[in-house]
Structure 1
Amino acid sequence: MMNQQTKEMHFLYNSETVTQEFSEHKFYYFLQKDLFSPIEGTIKKFKKHEFLITEKEMVDEIYFIQSGCVMAMKNYSRVIDFYTEEDIVGFDCLLLTDLAAHSFKAISDEVLIMKYKKSEIIEKVLNAQEGYLYHYVHMQNQIKRLLEKEELLRQPSEKRIGFALLQIIKGCGARKRYSELVTFPKHINKGILAKYTNLNPNTVTNVLQKLQEESIIQVIQRTMHVNVLKLQSKLS
């Protein structure tokens, strides 16, 4: 009997099941569809270069990105990460007095978000059975992203830029042009890429030029396209 309960608990709470059942995508629908205490969000648009949150300000709203791309920055100069559709901004700490560790800036032409009052989300998370697991999964995802970024910054220049291209393509939902080439997001230019990789802009330009000579990158009508298979093969 005890063994059966242990197996059931393991099934309910093993990390893979928790990650799937309490994902950020499901959290959004949990807030909207819950019959007992739904909370109301508000749609808001941000134009390019507008800040959703500024560093060291009080975070009293939580943003669910519907479309567009947001850049997380430290000291308004270092680029930490990129957030896009289905990502959550402002959910890192459950304290109402928490100050933002980063600035979050819209870098696509428009960013559409659904915003909620942080106090209402905290109340709902704490009052819902297993609600805290949504925050747990979110934080695990944030830690994973942070570790991937740290690993990236340990690489030599060429590999660092190559891995950065792959990370951005994976995270920013770049669309496929055709089978081999993937369109790189236009709003992430060489300057932003330099700040993200912590490299000199000239180094980034030289490496991208080399990748173009190797037919890993193609520039068509001012838009960069990446042959992901060739790039992965080069990096391995």
Structure 2
Amino acid sequence: MNLPKINKPFAMIREFHLADWFTLANAICGIGALFSMMTYLQVNDVRHIYFACWLVVAALIFDVLDGRVARWRQKTSAMGRELDSLADIISFGVAPAVIAYGCGMQGLYDRIILAGFVACGVSRLARYNVTAESLTGDGDKVKYFEGTPIPTSLVLVMVMLVAAWQGAVQGSLWFGQVEFGGFTLHPLVLLFALSGSLMVSRIRFPKL
């Protein structure tokens, strides 16, 4: 009697290349940053903001390394590209938005802008994935980016790190707050609006 084959647990892991493990480390750092901000909101210990911000820095290091390892081993895959995009949206999209929210950008207008920032990051990654082949030209590497790469959100994270270090969080956020229509906007959140707009722009940035 022939029994159907049962897939062994973790069979998909065999399909991973070495670079994919660095990509997963990127995602784990992003998730760790989210957990750190949740803890900050529970215990109000500023050290957890520091942890969250430095975990995003670690995510960027792993993001750079996964590309270098892939080129060194000359092994890339469609799954690896999609995995990289999913990790990036966690670490450089969702995590910076949650750090900003935890630091005090919690008004209705703030939330709309932060959600738009993440949506721009998702759109930027999707556009890159579907146009990467056409951007390579005659070579095998992408020559330029259309719109700023999503890891540039690290600049925003560093702004929040400095703000936390100086005690400029919650009610002491830089530039204060404004109210109109009965809802609150913290002007600092406009940096996220600018970053999101640049990500979905058609401005060409050379790839270094």
* Same-fold call, TM cutoff 0.5: no
Q: Which has the higher helix share?
A: 2
* TM-score normalised by structure 2 residue count: 0.28
Structure with the larger RCO, 1 or 2 (CA within 8 Å, 6+ apart): 2
